[in-house]
């Protein structure tokens, strides 16, 4: 390793034999060139962040100071990422120092270069967020469940943390953090850190994250919510009117943690809580350490959509403990996590349920391959996102092809060997980063060569599409669903004694597999039998609304329901699927009419995606808000 290429990393937490994190110093690792951060960590890098900020709901601005402990490798500059931030002043070891902001890049923002001395240990930045901040979504009371208090949440992944904190925003740079956060009295604040369980009297909160994490995992939510424990180490935060429902829905969380630990080693983050956010949250879930952020659309009342929790929990190993070194290696985060999610679901609920989830993933993969057929490079696991917003390159290939690769490996080498390998992999690379190439080498040495197995890893990683040796996924439950659907299509009848037993996965599979030739009458028949239009399960709603659009079905007031769904839910995957269906079925005008109304409820990541999809150009003031 060239010294110029080596990054001194003064705390490396490793897992000791008893499983407790231990601090070892100093350590060295290689910084891989990447195109989504201006940071030059070989010169100087942040090891610890202390935030002193206040959250103002009237001005919709966060302001305060950020103090950084830095490691300086004899440099006279430290470079941070910043985007749409108002930098007021900077000090180095207590004395005012010079700083400059580089040219603006639409995706990356600006390099913030601070002059430091060769012995500088600490810098401090006084700053404010602006109206253009992309990470933050400020919600009015009306946009929440209780409709009594405003709400704020952040979304950092992939490169948005720099829009609310000046930071070295590369997944390769890990830091610990603490924060003093002032919010209006009567509101509670939580972060991806040690969290309060009750509201404070004065609106002041203190946080500490003692394990080093990449910047994209720094997160904050502010609103009126309460905590309810599930076990000593798991629990939920939700608005008052939802708390009991949320608690019931996620009551298996502790069992999930236990199942995950049995597979791949001790949970490294002490506490595993989930906060259910307002419905505009742009993702199903986000794996912020110690505190997963989740959409309320998974609260179905029957625990049928809780694989999302298994997924975000799995990131506590794949992603948060062993982190993709660059966004080109995103499949290392998501593919591993989907594989792990399926294993947790299998451990808790059995093989039948896991098989259904796996086959849904397989079908998602086919759909994604079809939609990317003109851009085959986008179907490679190793991506090339240079010059692109990483958010645009993150399609479901990383998830579903990544999953299929790992499942294929499992079937090739056998589950016992694969599990032992993965457990070792997480243990050896805890609190560090991984590239696709480094993983390939590790896999070769520790699994394939060890057991004399040949495997076409290069084809899986660097070629488009799916190799021949892919695992074949079957589900008996879904075979029955297909049979029921075919019977209905030929006889016009459906045996409801079979369907009463169906889970939401079976319904989703049933609806998604309607043939092109499905008629409006058949749609009507099914809707009167099962009332899909008014389903209380968001996943069923999404796939049904897509089919209503595909088959020109307008019964049961479905058009109004679709509009209501799109104006209340901001989960990007749902919203995008439905708007794509409008577009595919030549109903762009209708889509734009709805979008005018729904857009103000969307977080910037959803709005950006839908703007592109529908060719929507926001009015200038609104653009200022969502840029």
User: What residues are designated binding site?
Assistant: 311, 315, 334
Q: Which is nearer to Zn ion, 334 or 527 (CB)?
A: 334
Looking only at residues 226 through 245 of this chain, which bind ligand BES when binding is defined by CB under 6 A? none
Q: Which H or E element spans position 125?
A: strand 122-129
Compute how many residues bind ligand BES; rule: CB under 6 A. Answer: 16
Residue 215's CB is within 10 A of a number of other CB atoms, namely 27
Q: Is residue 349 annotated as a catalytic residue, yes or no?
A: no
Q: By CB under 6 A, which span of 67-75, 307-315, 559-567, 577-585 interacts with ligand BES? A: 307-315
Q: Which is nearer to ligand BES, 124 or 391 (CB)?
A: 391
Rule CB under 6 A: choose which of 311, 343, 382, 477 binds ligand BES: 311
134 binds, among Zn ion, ligand BES, none (CB under 5 to 8 A by kind): none
Question: Is residue 385 helix, strand or coil?
Answer: coil
Residue 576's CB is within 10 A of a number of other CB atoms, namely 15
DSSP β-ladder status, 61-72 and 136-139: unpaired
Q: Could you give the CA distance from residue 596 to residue 431 in angstroms, rounded to a whole number?
A: 44
First and final C-alpha spacing in the chain: 41
Q: Which is nearer to ligand BES, 72 or 505 (CB)?
A: 505
Q: Could you give the CA distance from residue 309 to residue 307 in angstroms, rounded to a whole number?
A: 5
Minimum Å gap between C-beta 486 and ligand BES is 29
603 binds, among Zn ion, ligand BES, none (CB under 5 to 8 A by kind): none
Q: Which string of b and e fits 141-171 if b means at least 16 CB within 10 Å?
A: eebbbbeebbbbbbbbbbbbbbbbbbbbbbb
Q: By CB under 6 A, which span of 177-185, 279-287, 348-356, 502-510 interacts with ligand BES? A: 279-287
Residue pointed to by tokens 């989960």: 571
Q: Could you give the CA distance from residue 52 to residue 182 in angstroms, rounded to a whole number?
A: 8
Looking only at residues 330 through 359 of this chain, which bind ligand BES when binding is defined by CB under 6 A? 334
| Cα→Cα distances 396→282, 380, 392, 402, Å | 16, 11, 11, 9
Minimum Å gap between C-beta 315 and Zn ion is 6
Instruction: Point out the residue whose Cβ comes nearest to ligand BES.
Output: 284
Give me 625's structure tokens.
């808000």
Closest CA to 284 of 224, 208, 337, 212: 337
Q: Is residue 312 annotated as a catalytic residue, yes or no?
A: yes
Q: Which string of b and e fits 42-79 if b means at least 16 CB within 10 Å?
A: bbbbbbbbbbbbebbbeebbbbbbbebebbbbebeebb
Minimum Å gap between C-beta 528 and ligand BES is 31
Q: Which is nearer to Zn ion, 439 or 565 (CB)?
A: 439
Site for ligand BES contains 611 (CB under 6 A): no
Q: Which is nearer to Zn ion, 396 or 567 (CB)?
A: 396
Q: By CB under 5 A, which span of 151-159, 327-335, 447-455, 560-568 interacts with Zn ion? A: 327-335
> Taking the C-alpha atoms of 17, 22, 23 and 25 in order, what is their torsion angle to the nearest 10 degrees?
0
Minimum Å gap between C-beta 287 and ligand BES is 5
Q: Could you give the CA distance from residue 188 to residue 147 in angstroms, rounded to a whole number?
A: 15
Minimum Å gap between C-beta 322 and Zn ion is 14
Site for ligand BES contains 287 (CB under 6 A): yes
Q: Which is nearer to ligand BES, 252 or 391 (CB)?
A: 391
Binding-site members for Zn(2+) are 311, 315, 334
Q: By CB under 6 A, which span of 73-81, 127-135, 311-319, 537-545 interacts with ligand BES? A: 311-319
Q: Which is nearer to ligand BES, 315 or 627 (CB)?
A: 315
256 binds, among ligand BES, Zn ion, none (CB under 5 to 8 A by kind): none
Looking only at residues 126 through 165 of this chain, which bind ligand BES when binding is defined by CB under 6 A? 157-158
Minimum Å gap between C-beta 605 and ligand BES is 7
Angle at the Cα of 191 from the Cα atoms of 165 and 194, rounded to 5 degrees: 125
Rule CB under 6 A: choose which of 394, 434, 543, 575 binds ligand BES: 394
Q: By CB under 6 A, which span of 75-83, 165-173, 391-399, 417-425 interacts with ligand BES? A: 391-399
394 binds, among ligand BES, Zn ion, none (CB under 5 to 8 A by kind): ligand BES
Residue pair 359/475 in contact by the 8 Å Cβ criterion: yes
Site for ligand BES contains 284 (CB under 6 A): yes
Closest CA to 329 of 387, 397, 399, 381: 381
Rule CB under 6 A: choose which of 268, 286, 562, 607 binds ligand BES: 286
Site for ligand BES contains 570 (CB under 6 A): no
283 binds, among ligand BES, Zn ion, none (CB under 5 to 8 A by kind): ligand BES
**Active-site annotation holder among 34, 239, 249, 312:** 312
573 binds, among ligand BES, Zn ion, none (CB under 5 to 8 A by kind): ligand BES
Q: By CB under 6 A, which span of 247-255, 285-293, 527-535, 593-601 interacts with ligand BES? A: 285-293
Taking every pair of Cα atoms in the chain, the longest distance, rounded to a whole number of angstroms, is: 82
Q: Which residues pair with 422 in a beta bridge?
A: none
Phi, psi of 123 (to 5 degrees): -125, 160
**Active-site annotation holder among 177, 264, 399, 553:** 399
Q: By CB under 6 A, which span of 63-71, 129-137, 306-314, 607-615 interacts with ligand BES? A: 306-314
Rule CB under 6 A: choose which of 312, 329, 355, 546 binds ligand BES: 312
Minimum Å gap between C-beta 213 and ligand BES is 13
Enumerate residues 6+ apart whose C-beta is below 8 A from 468: none
Reading phi first (left if > 0) and then psi (alpha if -120 to 50, else beta), residue 62 is in: beta
Rule CB under 6 A: choose which of 265, 285, 296, 570 binds ligand BES: 285
Q: Could you give the CA distance from residue 77 to residue 98 in angstroms, rounded to a whole number?
A: 10
Q: What is the 3-state secondary structure (H, E, C) of 291-339?
A: EEEECHHHCCCCCCCCHHHHHHHHCCCECCCEEECCHHHHHHHHHHHHH
User: How many residues does the structure list for the chain?
Assistant: 627
List, by residue number, the catalytic residues. 312, 399
Residues forming contacts to ligand BES in the complex (CB under 6 A) are 157-158, 283-287, 308, 311-312, 315, 334, 391, 394, 399, 573
Residues forming contacts to Zn ion in the complex (CB under 5 A) are 334, 337
């Amino acid at each position: 390793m060239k010294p110029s290429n080596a990054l001194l990393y003064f705390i490396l937490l490793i897992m000791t034999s008893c499983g407790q994190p231990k601090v070892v110093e100093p350590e060295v690792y290689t910084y891989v060139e990447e195109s989504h951060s201006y940071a030059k960590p070989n010169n100087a890098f942040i090891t610890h962040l202390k935030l002193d900020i206040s959250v103002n709901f009237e001005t919709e601005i966060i302001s305060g100071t950020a103090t950084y402990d830095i490691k300086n490798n004899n440099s006279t500059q430290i470079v941070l990422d910043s985007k749409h931030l108002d930098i007021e002043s900077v000090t180095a070891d207590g004395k005012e120092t010079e700083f400059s902001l580089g040219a603006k890049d639409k995706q990356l923002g600006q390099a913030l270069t601070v002059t430091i001395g060769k012995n500088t240990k600490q810098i401090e930045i006084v700053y404010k967020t602006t109206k253009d901040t992309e990470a933050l979504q400020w919600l009015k009371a009306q946009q929440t469940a209780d409709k009594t208090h405003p709400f704020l949440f952040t979304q950092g992944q992939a490169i948005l943390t720099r829009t609310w904190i000046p930071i070295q925003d590369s997944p390769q740079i890990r830091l610990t953090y603490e924060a003093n956060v002032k919010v209006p009295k009567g509101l509670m604040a939580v972060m991806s850190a040690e969290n309060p369980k009750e509201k404070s009297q004065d609106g002041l909160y203190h946080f500490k994250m003692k394990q080093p994490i990449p910047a994209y995992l720094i997160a904050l939510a502010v609103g009126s919510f309460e905590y309810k424990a599930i076990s000593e180490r798991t629990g939920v935060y939700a608005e008052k009117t939802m708390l009991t429902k949320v608690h019931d829905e996620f009551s298996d969380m502790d069992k999930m943690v236990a199942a995950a630990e049995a597979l791949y080693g001790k949970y490294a983050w002490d506490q595993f809580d989930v906060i259910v956010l307002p419905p505009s949250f742009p993702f199903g879930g986000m794996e912020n350490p110690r505190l997963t952020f989740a959409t309320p659309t998974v609260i179905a009342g029957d625990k049928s959509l809780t694989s999302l929790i298994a997924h975000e929990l799995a990131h506590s190993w794949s992603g948060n403990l062993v982190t993709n070194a660059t966004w080109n290696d995103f499949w290392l985060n998501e593919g591993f996590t989907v594989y792990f999610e399926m294993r947790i679901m299998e451990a808790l609920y059995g093989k039948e349920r896991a098989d259904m989830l796996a086959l849904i993933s397989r079908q998602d993969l086919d759909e994604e391959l079809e939609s990317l057929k003109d851009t085959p490079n986008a179907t490679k696991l190793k991506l090339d996102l240079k010059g692109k917003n990483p958010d645009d390159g993150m399609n479901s290939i990383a998830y579903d092809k990544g999953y299929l690769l790992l499942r294929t490996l499992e079937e090739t080498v056998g589950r016992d060997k694969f599990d032992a390998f993965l457990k070792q992999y997480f243990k050896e690379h805890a609190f560090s980063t991984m590239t696709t190439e480094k993983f390939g080498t590790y896999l070769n040495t520790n699994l394939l060569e060890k057991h004399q197995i040949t495997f076409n890893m290069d084809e899986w990683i660097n070629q488009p599409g799916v190799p021949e040796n892919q695992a074949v996924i079957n589900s008996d439950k879904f075979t029955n669903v297909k049979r029921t659907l075919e019977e209905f299509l030929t006889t016009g009848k459906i045996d409801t004694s079979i369907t009463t037993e169906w889970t939401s996965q079976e319904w989703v599979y049933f609806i998604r597999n309607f043939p092109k030739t499905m008629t409006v009458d058949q749609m009507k028949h099914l809707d009167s039998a099962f009332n899909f239009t008014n389903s209380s399960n968001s996943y069923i709603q999404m796939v049904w609304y897509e089919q209503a659009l595909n088959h020109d079905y307008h019964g049961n007031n479905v058009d109004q329901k679709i509009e209501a769904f799109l104006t209340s839910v901001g989960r990007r995957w749902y919203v995008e699927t439905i708007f794509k269906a409008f577009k595919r079925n030549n109903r762009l005008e209708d889509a734009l009419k709805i979008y005018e109304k729904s857009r103000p409820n969307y977080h910037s990541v959803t709005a950006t995606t839908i703007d592109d999809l529908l060719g929507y150009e926001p009015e200038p003031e609104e653009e200022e808000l969502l840029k």
